Amino acid sequence: MTGEQLRDELARIAEGAPEVHVPDDLYRRGRRATTRARVAVAAAAVACLGLIAGVAVPLVAHHDVEFADSDELAVPDRIYAPPSHMTDLEDDLEVGVAAGAFVTDALIPVVVEADSGTYHLLDLEGFTQGGFFRTRLGFALSPDGEQLAWAYADDVESGHRPSGIRVADLSTGRVREIRVDQDRAVLIHDLAWSTQGGWLAWLGVEMEQWDTDGVSSGKRTVGGIVREGQSSATYQVVAGRNANRVFEQDGGQTIDGGATSAVAVSDTGKLAAVVGWSFFLNGVRGRLEQDPSLRIGGLWFLGEKPFGLTYSADGSDVPAVRVMPDGRSSPIRSTLDQPDLLGALGPRQVLVGPGDDGDDPSGVQLWTWNAPGGGHATGTFIRLYDGVLGLTLASDLIDPVQPQVVARPRPDWPWSTDRWWWTIGGGAASTAAIGLIVLIVVRARAVRG
């Protein structure tokens, strides 16, 4: 058949075929149907991804607090506060050598392991949650990180409360109790280890009345020392009744005094303390200079000589390292305007953190000075995150010649109940969305069919 014949045959067939009416909008309707199908497929894909991310991943995720292993004991370069929903506490104190210890905003004690960086929230028996300031909590980690000391007061139905110090051996979990109360209960607000860890100093207030409902009135400030391994402490009157006054304010313990309070003990057992304007050194009481803005951020011994961190509450003077009580001062160039002593390293090096009222809460600095010419501070040596209070560090784990810390990843804290509900709810919503989309697609195809 030639081409001409084929055209004639097709024309004949077309003349005999029934007439078909094609709607004018058929093409437009087809494009809309195709677009709806593509949108439905894309939405289903997104919903599936949301379902996987919201449900499958959390179910297989590992929520224990873990860190990268370290070949040696070390202090981490960052210290985090556990989230507020973590309230399950451990009563087993056998946690191993600690790099640091602190309390949270909720006054929960936390210890950070030195070898793995694991965080332990501890249940410390009778812990008073302490002092009159958030950085004075009656809570101290030994320089080697092997012992944790805390102030305690046991509840009683009548009479004064048994009170003193408990010290945990973190390698065995055993607790040693040192009771200090005599005729009156004692609220201990400061604890400090000697540089080599052989002595523990304490400072507190004799309470005229102290029950489980709060603090009514304090009397004299007392203090003493405890030798390593012993279960008894010395007891001395450090300052008179008017050095600091204790009273209850808004349901919390408050102190009224000039230069706050601090305590230290030398490696030979010599005791030094500051309470208000009073200075105590090895049994002798004296007075500090009458500077209304003077504050003491901590005490320590260099040999047999006491040193202190000083600063001005009003910011009129730069922070300084001072030979106590009124000796030479070495100004320190630092961004910490209200420093708090965290530990001593070498002969002229100390670890210093921000006080709670300071302007720079970012982290720990290393201060080095050369008396009497002054000194300098590093930048942030250890970063602190919000909620880390009353920090105390295992200073023996930091080499004074080449100070170093170890990098640790951010803890993978367990999820809160609210987050779990949002995750489950999101997964359920994704599943419902997929079902709805499938239903729309099936009905659309049924209509077209």
Let me know if residue 72 belongs to a domain. Answer: no
- pLDDT value for 426: 64
Look-up of token digits 């009124």: 326
Mean pLDDT of the chain: 79
DSSP string of 183-198?
Answer: SS-EEEEEEEE-TTSS
90 and 49 housed in the same domain: no
**The CATH number of the domain where 264 resides is what?**
2.130.10
335 and 208 housed in the same domain: yes
CA angle 238, 243, 244 (to 5 degrees): 105
Let me know if residue 145 belongs to a domain. Answer: yes
> Structure tokens of 203?
């400072």
Are the beta carbons of 99 and 113 closer than 8 angstroms?
A: yes
Give mean pLDDT, residues 403-410: 89
Q: pLDDT-based confidence at 56, cuts 50/70/90? A: very low
What is d(CA 93, CA 100) in angstroms, rounded to the nearest whole number? 14
50 and 198 housed in the same domain: no
DSSP string of 337-364?
Answer: SSEEEEEE-STTEEEEEE-TTSS--SEE
Let me know if residue 70 belongs to a domain. Answer: no
HEC assignment per residue over 74-124: CCECEECCCCCCCCCCECCCCCCCEEEEEECCCCCEEEEECCCCCEEEECC
- pLDDT value for 402: 87
- Where is pLDDT greater, at 366 or 3? 366
Let me know if residue 297 belongs to a domain. Answer: yes
Residue finishing a domain among 362, 382, 397: 397
Let me know if residue 407 belongs to a domain. Answer: no
Res 352 pLDDT > 60:
yes
Q: pLDDT-based confidence at 421, cuts 50/70/90? A: low
426 and 392 housed in the same domain: no
For the segment 259-288, what is each residue's pLDDT rounded down to a tens digit?
478 999 999 999 999 988 889 998 999 888
Number of Cα atoms under 13 Å in the Cβ half of residue 145 = 22
Number of Cα atoms under 13 Å in the Cβ half of residue 220 = 12
120 and 236 housed in the same domain: yes
Domain ranges, residue 44? 3-60+422-448
Let me know if residue 416 belongs to a domain. Answer: no
274 and 126 housed in the same domain: yes
For the segment 181-191, what is each residue's pLDDT rounded down to a tens digit?
888 888 898 99
- pLDDT value for 318: 85
- Where is pLDDT greater, at 43 or 396? 396
Q: pLDDT-based confidence at 373, cuts 50/70/90? A: low
Are the beta carbons of 259 and 295 closer than 8 angstroms?
A: yes
Res 26 pLDDT > 90:
no
Instruction: Using DSSP, state whether 9 is helix, strand or coil.
Output: helix
From residue 145, how far is each of 168, 316, 403 by CA, in Å?
11, 37, 17
345 and 426 housed in the same domain: no
Q: pLDDT-based confidence at 127, cuts 50/70/90? A: very high
Selection from 184, 180, 153, 272 nearest residue 235 by Cα:
180
Please, is 234 exposed, middle or buried when counting C-beta atoms within 10 Å of its C-beta (0-12, 13-18, 19+)?
A: middle
Q: pLDDT-based confidence at 425, cuts 50/70/90? A: low
- pLDDT value for 208: 77
What is d(CA 242, CA 73) in angstroms, rounded to the nearest whole number? 45
389 and 283 housed in the same domain: yes
360 and 288 housed in the same domain: yes
Query: Any long-range contacts for 27-34 (C-beta under 8 Å, 24+ apart)?
Result: 33/444, 33/448
15 and 103 housed in the same domain: no
What is d(CA 421, CA 418) in angstroms, rounded to the nearest whole number? 5
Give mean pLDDT, residues 25-38: 67
> Structure tokens of 78?
């960052």
Let me know if residue 239 belongs to a domain. Answer: yes
Are the beta carbons of 297 and 341 closer than 8 angstroms?
A: yes
Give mean pLDDT, residues 65-92: 79
Strand partners, 191: 202
> Structure tokens of 34?
């195709």
For the segment 411-420, what is each residue's pLDDT rounded down to a tens digit?
888 764 555 5
Give mean pLDDT, residues 52-79: 57
For the segment 208-240, what is each residue's pLDDT rounded down to a tens digit?
776 655 555 567 899 999 999 899 999 999 987
Of 42-56, 130-144, 256-270, 291-305, minimum mean pLDDT range: 42-56
236 and 332 housed in the same domain: yes
Structural domain count of the chain: 2
Let me know if residue 333 belongs to a domain. Answer: yes
Q: What is the Cα 231 distance to its own chain's centre?
A: 30
Residue 268's contacts (CB-CB under 8 Å, 6 or more residues apart) are: 304
Res 339 pLDDT > 80:
yes
> Structure tokens of 384?
């602190």
The Cβ of residue 250 has, within 10 Å, a number of other Cβ atoms equal to: 5
Phi then psi for residue 41, to 5 deg, are -65, -45
85 and 185 housed in the same domain: yes
